[in-house]
Amino acid sequence: MENDPSAVPHRERAREAFFGRLRGPRLRPGQAMLLETLLPSLRIDLDTPPPADLTTLIAAPVEAVHLEIGFGGGEHLLAGALRRPDTGFIGVEPFVNGMAKLLSAIAEAPPANLRLYDDDATRLLDWLPEASLSGIDLLYPDPWPKKKHFKRRFVNPRNLDRFARVLAPGASFRFASDIDTYVDWTLQHCRDHPAFEWTAARAADWHSPFEGWPGTRYEAKAIREGRRPAYLTFRRI
């Protein structure tokens, strides 16, 4: 309906790496309003040239910038931004309902070290300056379990090339999943990529959550259903 405050105007979306639903249940009017009022002040505009120093993209004075791709409801992203005020955080989430949930959580006091992007992450990765990120997190991405859909998985040689370009030497790419086939897939692809090395020294290293891990609803569901999450960290050589 034209005057429905819970309706969100359609935006043209890039579709190279995001193939899932763009929206779920109808938003509450307050959530829809935040997408129209709060998101524009935090959204990164790719129509402008990227800054030579990525830290200047963040409103607060920060020493480094970290990227989370597909933040879901934003639990991990927000926890990181609040726990590490000296680091800038960029969160990417094309799913409208996930973005609305995060905006609702920060509406009263948006962290000054947080920026957001609500379209395909590959566009942002191609826009970012070289060696500008201190880390990338890809947590519980869509596993695309059918073999015919493996090509849709975000971890692939082209995207690993993108990660290698924007990560500073020594920076980390962190991956979490409860799907064994996707964990194996990621290990094999990162093993075959010359820019990354797996940091685990023992099995406990990749079954232990990352430092400061707040837990997410996806992880809780996986554990309830008997799936053991894996937490992989790869260093940019």
Indicate which residues carry an active-site annotation.
142
Q: What is the side-by-side order of every strand in the sheet holding 196-198? A: 114-117, 87-92, 64-69, 133-139, 167-177, 230-236, 196-198
Name every residue whose Cβ is closer than 8 Å to that of residue 225 and which is 6 or more positions away in sequence.
none
What's the sign of the alpha-carbon dihedral 53, 58, 61, 65? negative
Contact 174, 136 (CB under 8 A): yes
| Distance separating alpha carbons of residues 152 and 179, to the nearest angstrom | 15
Beta-sheet pairing, 87-92 with 64-69: parallel
Cα-based torsion angle of the residue sequence 125, 126, 128, 133 in order, rounded to the nearest 10 degrees = 40
